């Protein structure tokens, strides 16, 4: 039989100086209160469905829900007895030093590998374009001969069909990778990374198979001529590299290298993911500072100097790596002044004057409106797609359709617009065979040069070409087409970013704006439409993504220019103000569509009178500090909760449907209970506990890793044993009284990255639990110029 | 008599659903437990003195204390009933909108005024130099005639004495402003701003008189030829502007404009101060992104996107303002591409190669060592100064001595080193009469051009001059002299920054390094010593201040160059690594010397087993929810605590020297109690409470504003009344159990900016209180490669 002595000894060893003399030892738990919990749960679910029906009839908007399937990351340390005793060991000093050294080493590796992945993507895109231009088209065009536009319509058709066919093949590869291998790899990846950094466990977002699908997929979709950027996917790739390297193992491959075990928890992984995301931005734009700011602006809530510094290190190493590889690839090995992947060239004329400020403000307003329009239309389109294009084949077909239409429209535009310019008039434009084929000898088509080159190159020529390089009609048609194609492309099942397409659209209308200004004020010299193209590009992108300081830094670093910093900031600021009057940023819209319980920067306004007893969930299942294994198994089987509070006694309450819980003593994660059961850390016949691995307190809460209950193979004998939870639980979880306000709770969650917050009454008795979803469902809305707090329902899907 | 009904009504209106039925109403508080508290306090103080003696005999370092005089800012909102009811009023919606609009408006004003102050300082420095060079020296030199060096020794003496005399006059003005008007205006101001942003109320740091003394003082000390920069003081000025404008009133002048009442609390003010600091950096270096990063790296613990964006806005407006004024001042009105105050020119040759990376790493190592040496020597010097140069006259005399020695050394060096270069060999050097006077006709002295021009200009010529512009001896002597003079100057009683002097020292040895590299590898072409001067400047400054990402951004923005971003980052990173092996940054050393309870970024290592009952103070004085006025007056008179917990009952404990406190119900600030007494919000004869101003919950805790107790003029009759505290207290303060670990407490303080954290036992009974000082006194130290936690004592001075 269980020796009481052992139990008492444990109790007197307890770290809690307020050890309650009344412990629930003697009470044998019946399962009746579990049944009560289940009953209450059912009733609550019925209420939920009812409320949902009300809510649905009431709703003005169609995506006012939060999905229950997203869990929080475990950012908190379980400070249990093992954790505290680990510090007392002499080896802990060495561990501290090792951890600190390994963090830097991992950040170095993240930088190198992110750089390698980015360079790989870039080189893949280069070759796919190379095949298209130098092999496929050259062959076809040489067959057609040097005839003039229109005369060889038949031949043109062949070129076009070959072109579109090649694009479709690449896009099919990208779509198959996304649809059948890693669905999370679709789109830009920035919304997912933003949610992850916000503290939400997005399933599979940082897996190796996601990384591979993303890297190959984006090379194919960009190479396949879609209106898609490779920058967003590079950021996602960086984040996946960060997670992968820091864990020293791969779930996708099932390989465990046994490295960096100390980083195998959500907290450390999230830090490395933020470093990886920064490295991704740094690789994509040659912008290490912009990368760090991106990670901070989009994700981190707590600015930690050490973490920031490591992020910066990763970003820097990643820039170095990309520069090195590309300098080698471009035949200038070792020349590190290379300029990153998205290189927008250097402005020669850097002057601007005070009277141009109102013009920049106007560009900001236009960008804000166009960005808001883009977001509105794309959100509607995504909702439509969610409803009607949900089958795998349907999605694949849509990708092919987009690829075909993109290619077709390009050819159509070139046929329709006659914008031939003499070769050499524009030193920045490269005149290839493809853009000469529709013009007379010695001329090239400006339209074709926009459509048939890398989008980055097109941005560059819009920024730096001499004043008359592009006709007004060309810019109007190109801008509208690119706007619509980007709109359609963002959200189909291929990896595709929105940065470069938005910049390109903006550069087109910005340049148009510059030309108009030049025609309106012919007396003023020195008006460079390239400057306005830059402002327009910033405005369009800012209007779509609504980033501020990080976007400014990225654009400044990518253009290698600081002089235009001030006007760009001004444009981005006005853009954000104007855009925010209409709707939220593209990434935030997509996060809302995915029903992710993201926490914003500030608590909702007008929520002071929403108190903890309204926010919390009452259907909490608690454990005592010493429980029969059978009850634990029953609880694990009957609930899906990921963490359980531990109280000092549980009493049946005759009046309430839920048991009356005693004082809050701690909490334990589902995964920790599993590990305890798996290692059979339960007492019987006075046997002492078998040791647990030292890193038990850093227990992962990863569903994939967790065996099913039946796999544990617990016998009836096992189930009759007692489990002493106290040494393994977190002994002082965050708690608030029942009268705590929502803003206070919000700041706790946001400032500390909480997963669970327990609500206690005045006597420290457990009354409820608050999770991220409970906080996130209160949303601030503005209707008729007044702020309101809406309460979203939590959908079970 | 007091109506019990009223009391009960209040009780049933309480927001707390767990209202305790047993309240301490009937008990009339005797003052005996207060006496007990005083007795315990005395005993604790005796223990403290004893411990201190032990500690002092034990200490290896002489500044291991924290001063008790620094209080925390009130970053938390007192969510009392008034606060909650304010939201229910219809006017609250309008207030919300107004607050949001006014925040932007105030940030705009902060930008404009910070820009104006910075431009004022710059123009003042310009004119003081103008007087010196174009008036004083021209006159004297013309009197001496065009003789050669050495022949007119007597005349040289006249020039030197006049020069030194003029410098001394200016430095005297600066010193008098600091010593007699605003002592806090001395030094760079960055340590003070760092502490303020960390959440510590540094007295008078952001007052108008500090701003005026700082602005005029720094113009005088820089104009007076000290080795001092104007950038640090500009940042401090920006912070003071931020605080001043946002409060809409001035303590120094005693004027209240009645504006922006909604921002009159520590939380809002701190946000505006961070915006002001960012604007200060932006004005000083033309670096808005660097400014925002500076504010974040040095101060903010919580990255809030909205706040960051407003900081960015202020920084941008401030840059604009400075550019506009200076473009006008320099005769190119409206030409906004002006380059900020610290303009280091543009590098023509931007290439660097992979084999140069090890050289940059080496520069980083040298910078780290030199910076650590600088910090060590300056810290020792400051300790010496604190002990032996503490009188006002002594400090004034030291300032004059530094001014005289600086001037004398400059002349001495010019006499000693013969480094005459033909005029025109160095296009960046301006050859004025003063630097031609020691050389032959058609030549100028390179040494004189370093000493006798703006330090910013000297940095510029070290960066951009052709390879042979400065002799090796010149650079060595100049570097050593400047290093030592800067060391001496930083810490004397004048406003003086360390940025530009450190950059200049670093540029000197960096250029020297470049020349050595060029001589070692004569076969390699394209080695530009200017590039190494830039790296050296970054390394020296990084070694002294140990900033990373913000410094990188500042240097990149100030040099208007992004290509060298990567090497600069590398240099700064190595510098910080190397420097941190020896000691901490200059600002942190000075903060430690001032015994300020600053909280670092991470909790101390090896502190998991330090629990709340060791961290907390037990001599806590609590109130009941309803107290006699006489007891409150007694408490306010006998303690200096700035906040008091409120409990549901206080019982004399026969065994303990302290009373036994009941359940924690809330807390109230000293200033709130004062305001309640001042407004006579106490009940007698059933009279209802008179209304309080709406903003009562945003009560300031400002000692200057607070009247003394006797000024309140409370009669004996008043003191017999009862004060109902409950509606005015914060009803759900942060609380932790007794077994909470220090890292957990640390993260609460750091993440949420707490001022008070209450420690409760298992029944939610109050057992102690933790303040910032109690957390900050645990410091991580490394001895013999092992981490230890030291416990500093709290000095009462």
User: At residue A729, does pLDDT exceed 70?
Assistant: yes
How many angstroms separate the CA atoms of A300 and A291, rounded?
13
Residues in A 277-306 with any Cβ partner in B closer than 8 A:
288-289, 292-293, 296-297, 300-306
Angstrom distances, CA of residue B384 to CA of B380, B387, B389, B482, B594: 6, 5, 8, 21, 14
Give me the helices (H) in B286-438, please.
288-298, 305-329, 357-388, 392-416, 433-436
CB contact under 8 A, A83 and B736: no
Q: pLDDT of B497-516, one tens digit each?
A: 999 999 999 999 999 999 99
Model's pTM, two decimal places? Answer: 0.86
Which member of A19, A354, A566 has the closest CB to residue B334?
A354
The separation between CA B791 and the C-alpha centre of its own chain, rounded to angstroms, equals: 24
Which member of A83, A306, A609 has the closest CB to residue B84?
A609
Which member of B336, B573, B751 has the closest CB to residue A751?
B751
- Residue A21: pLDDT band (50, 70, 90) is very low
Which residues in chain B touch residue A309, judged by CB atoms under 8 angstroms apart?
A: 548-549, 573, 576
* Distance from the B786 Cα atom to the nearest Cα atom in chain A, whole angstroms: 6
Indicate the pairing of strand B623-624 with strand B626-628: unpaired
pLDDT of residue B39: 59
Q: pLDDT of A59-76, one tens digit each?
A: 444 446 788 778 888 777
User: At residue A317, does pLDDT exceed 60?
Assistant: yes
Which member of A354, A560, A561 has the closest CB to residue B336?
A354
Which member of B289, B302, B663 has the closest CB to residue A552?
B289
Give the number of beta-carbon pairs within 8 Å between A and B.
Answer: 255
Whether A550 and A569 have beta carbons less than 8 Å apart is answered as no
How many angstroms separate the CA atoms of A336 and B360, rounded?
13
How many angstroms separate the CA atoms of B501 and B486, rounded?
6
**Which of these ranges, A261-270, A433-442, B22-31, B173-182, has the smallest mean pLDDT?**
B22-31
Instruction: Kindly state the helix (H) or strand (E) to which residue A34 belongs, with its residue range.
Output: helix A32-58
Residues in A 182-201 with any Cβ partner in B closer than 8 A:
none
pLDDT of residue A11: 33
pLDDT of residue A698: 52
- Residue A372: pLDDT band (50, 70, 90) is very high
Chain B interface disruption, residue of A316, A321, A550, A761, most B CBs within 10 A? A316
* Distance from the B336 Cα atom to the nearest Cα atom in chain A, whole angstroms: 6
User: At residue A19, does pLDDT exceed 50?
Assistant: no
How many angstroms separate the CA atoms of A147 and B150, rounded?
85
- Residue A674: pLDDT band (50, 70, 90) is confident
B336 interfacial to chain A (CB closer than 8 Å): yes
User: At residue B695, does pLDDT exceed 60?
Assistant: no
CB contact under 8 A, B79 and A732: no
Q: pLDDT of B416-432, one tens digit each?
A: 877 777 776 666 555 56
Q: pLDDT of A265-275, one tens digit each?
A: 888 888 899 99
Q: How many residues does chain A have?
A: 797
Which residues in chain B touch residue A300, judged by CB atoms under 8 angstroms apart?
A: 303
Tell the burial category of A387 from Cβ atoms under 10 Å away from its Cβ (0-12, 13-18, 19+): exposed
* Token pair listed for A220: 């194919």
Which residues in chain B touch residue A336, judged by CB atoms under 8 angstroms apart?
A: 352-354, 357, 566
- Residue B18: pLDDT band (50, 70, 90) is very low
- Residue B351 has what DSSP assignment? -
Which residues in chain B touch residue A587, judged by CB atoms under 8 angstroms apart?
A: none
Chain A interface disruption, residue of B80, B337, B606, most A CBs within 10 A? B337
Which residues in chain B touch residue A357, judged by CB atoms under 8 angstroms apart?
A: 336
ipTM above 0.90, yes or no: no
CB contact under 8 A, B562 and A560: yes
Q: What is the mean pLDDT of chain B?
A: 80
Whether B555 and B459 have beta carbons less than 8 Å apart is answered as no
Residues in B 652-691 with any Cβ partner in A closer than 8 A:
663
Chain B interface disruption, residue of A13, A99, A308, most B CBs within 10 A? A308
B717 interfacial to chain A (CB closer than 8 Å): no
Interval A351-369 mean pLDDT: 88
A739 interfacial to chain B (CB closer than 8 Å): yes
Residues in A 5-24 with any Cβ partner in B closer than 8 A:
15-20
* Distance from the A2 Cα atom to the nearest Cα atom in chain B, whole angstroms: 28
Chain B residue with CA closest to A786: the answer is B93
pLDDT of residue B341: 58
pLDDT of residue A303: 65
B168 interfacial to chain A (CB closer than 8 Å): no
The C-alpha torsion from B517 through B521 and B527 to B533, rounded to 10°, is 0
CB contact under 8 A, B751 and A302: yes
Helix (H, G, I), strand (E, B) or coil at B638: helix
CB contact under 8 A, A351 and B334: no
Residues in B 71-110 with any Cβ partner in A closer than 8 A:
77, 79, 83-84, 87-88, 92-93, 96-97
Backbone φ and ψ of B691, nearest 5°: -65, 150
Residues 6+ apart with CB under 8 A from B317: B107, B108, B110, B111, B112, B115, B279
Enumerate helices (H) and strands (E) in chain A, giving the number of each.
30, 20
A151 interfacial to chain B (CB closer than 8 Å): no
User: At residue B555, does pLDDT exceed 70?
Assistant: yes
Which member of B92, B573, B608 has the closest CB to residue A79?
B608
CB contact under 8 A, A732 and B731: no
Chain B residue with CA closest to A783: the answer is B93
How many angstroms separate the CA atoms of B175 and B156, rounded?
28
Which residues in chain B touch residue A355, judged by CB atoms under 8 angstroms apart?
A: 334
User: At residue B108, does pLDDT exceed 80?
Assistant: yes
B759 interfacial to chain A (CB closer than 8 Å): no
Tell the burial category of B572 from Cβ atoms under 10 Å away from its Cβ (0-12, 13-18, 19+): buried
Interval A599-609 mean pLDDT: 87
Interval A680-685 mean pLDDT: 71
User: At residue A56, does pLDDT exceed 60?
Assistant: no
**Which of these ranges, A374-383, A597-606, A731-740, B680-689, has the smallest mean pLDDT?**
B680-689
* Distance from the A566 Cα atom to the nearest Cα atom in chain B, whole angstroms: 7
Which member of B93, B354, B744 has the closest CB to residue A336?
B354
- Residue B40: pLDDT band (50, 70, 90) is low
Backbone φ and ψ of B411, nearest 5°: -65, -45
How many angstroms separate the CA atoms of B162 and A694, rounded?
74
Q: What is the mean pLDDT of chain A?
A: 80
pLDDT of residue B508: 94
Q: pLDDT of B42-93, one tens digit each?
A: 555 555 544 444 444 444 444 467 887 788 887 778 888 888 888 888 888 8
Angstrom distances, CA of residue A4 to CA of A627, A683, A714, B330: 14, 11, 24, 88
Q: pLDDT of B565-589, one tens digit each?
A: 778 888 998 999 999 999 999 999 9
Which residues in chain A touch residue B732, judged by CB atoms under 8 angstroms apart?
A: 736-737, 739-741, 744
- Please give the domain boundaries of chain B with CATH numbers for all domains: 107-330 (1.10.3080.10), 354-594 (1.10.3080.10), 612-795 (3.10.580.10)
Question: Which has the closest alpha carbon to B792: B45, B62, B38, B43?
Answer: B62
Indicate the pairing of strand A756-760 with strand A735-737: parallel
Question: Which has the closest alpha carbon to A412: A451, A462, A446, A457?
Answer: A451
């Amino acid at each position: 039989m269980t020796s009481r002595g052992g139990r008492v000894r444990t109790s007197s060893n307890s770290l809690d100086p307020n050890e309650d003399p009344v412990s629930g030892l003697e009470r044998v738990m019946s399962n009746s209160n579990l049944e009560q919990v289940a009953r209450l749960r059912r009733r609550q679910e019925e209420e939920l469905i009812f409320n949902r029906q009300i809510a649905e009839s009431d709703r003005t908007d169609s995506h006012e829900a939060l999905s229950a399937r997203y869990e929080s990351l475990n950012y908190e340390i379980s400070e249990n007895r093992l954790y505290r005793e680990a510090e007392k060991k002499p080896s802990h000093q060495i561990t501290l030093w090792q951890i600190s050294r390994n963090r830097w080493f991992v950040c170095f590796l993240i930088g190198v590998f992110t750089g390698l992945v980015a360079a790989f993507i870039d080189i893949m895109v280069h070759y796919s374009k190379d095949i298209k231009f130098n092999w496929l088209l050259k062959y076809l065009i040489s067959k057609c001969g040097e005839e003039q536009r229109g005369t060889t319509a038949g031949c043109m058709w062949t070129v076009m069909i070959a072109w579109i066919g090649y694009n479709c093949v690449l896009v099919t590869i990208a779509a198959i990778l996304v649809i059948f291998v890693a669905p999370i790899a679709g789109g830009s990846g920035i919304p997912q990374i933003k949610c992850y950094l916000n503290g939400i466990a997005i399933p599979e977002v940082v897996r190796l198979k996601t990384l591979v699908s993303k890297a190959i997929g984006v090379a194919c979709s960009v190479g396949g001529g879609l209106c898609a950027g490779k920058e967003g996917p590079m950021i996602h790739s960086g984040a996946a590299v960060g997670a992968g390297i820091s864990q020293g193992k791969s779930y996708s491959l099932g390989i465990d290298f046994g490295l960096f075990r100390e980083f195998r928890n959500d907290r450390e992984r999230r830090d490395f993911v933020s470093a990886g995301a920064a490295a991704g931005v740094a690789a994509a734009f040659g912008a290490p500072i912009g990368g760090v700011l991106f990670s901070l602006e989009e994700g981190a809530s707590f600015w930690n100097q050490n973490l920031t510094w490591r992020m910066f290190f990763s970003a820097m190493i990643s820039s170095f790596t990309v520069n090195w590889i590309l300098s080698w690839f471009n035949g200038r090995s070792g020349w590190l002044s290379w300029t990153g992947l998205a290189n927008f060239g250097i402005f020669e004329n850097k002057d601007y004057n005070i009277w141009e400020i109102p013009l920049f403000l106007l560009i900001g307003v236009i960008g804000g409106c166009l960005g808001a329009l883009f977001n509105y239309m794309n959100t509607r389109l995504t909702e439509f797609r969610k409803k009607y294009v949900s089958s795998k084949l349907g999605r694949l077909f849509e990708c092919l359709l987009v690829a075909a239409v993109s290619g077709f429209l390009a050819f159509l535009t070139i046929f329709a617009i006659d914008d031939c310019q003499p070769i050499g008039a524009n030193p920045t434009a490269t005149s290839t065979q493809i853009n000469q084929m529709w013009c007379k000898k010695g001329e090239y088509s400006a339209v074709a040069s926009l459509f048939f080159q890398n989008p980055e190159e097109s941005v560059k020529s819009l920024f730096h070409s001499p004043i008359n390089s592009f006709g007004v009609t060309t810019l109007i048609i190109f801008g509208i087409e690119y706007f619509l194609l980007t709109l359609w492309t963002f959200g189909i099942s291929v990896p595709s970013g929105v940065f470069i397409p938005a910049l390109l659209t903006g550069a087109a209308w910005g340049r148009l704006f510059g030309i108009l200004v030049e025609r309106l004020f012919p007396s003023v010299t020195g008006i460079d439409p390239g400057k306005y193209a830059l402002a327009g590009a910033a405005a369009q992108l800012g209007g779509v993504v609504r980033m501020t300081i990080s976007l400014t830094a990225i654009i400044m670093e990518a253009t290698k220019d600081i002089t235009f910093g001030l006007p760009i900031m001004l444009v981005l600021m006005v853009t954000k103000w104007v855009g925010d009057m209409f709707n939220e940023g593209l990434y935030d819209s997509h996060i809302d569509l995915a029903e992710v319980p993201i926490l914003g920067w500030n608590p909702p306004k007008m929520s002071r009178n929403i108190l903890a007893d309204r926010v919390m969930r009452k259907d909490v299942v608690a454990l005592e500090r010493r429980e029969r294994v059978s009850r634990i198994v029953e609880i694990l089987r009957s609930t899906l909760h990921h963490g359980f509070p531990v109280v000092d006694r549980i009493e049946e309450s005759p009046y309430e449907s839920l048991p009356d819980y005693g004082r809050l003593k701690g909490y334990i994660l589902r995964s920790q209970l599993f590990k305890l059961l798996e290692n059979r850390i339960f007492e019987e016949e006075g046997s002492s506990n078998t040791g647990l691995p030292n890193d038990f307190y850093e227990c992962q809460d990863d569903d994939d890793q967790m065996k099913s209950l039946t796999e544990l193979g617990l016998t009836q004998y096992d189930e009759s044993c007692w489990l002493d939870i106290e040494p393994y639980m977190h002994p002082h979880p965050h708690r608030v009284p029942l009268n705590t306000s929502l803003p206070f709770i919000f700041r706790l969650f946001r400032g500390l990255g909480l997963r669970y917050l327990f609500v206690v009454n005045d006597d420290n008795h457990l009354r409820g639990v608050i999770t991220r979803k409970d906080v996130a469902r209160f949303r601030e809305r503005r209707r008729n110029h007044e702020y309101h707090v809406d309460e979203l329902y939590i959908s079970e899907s």
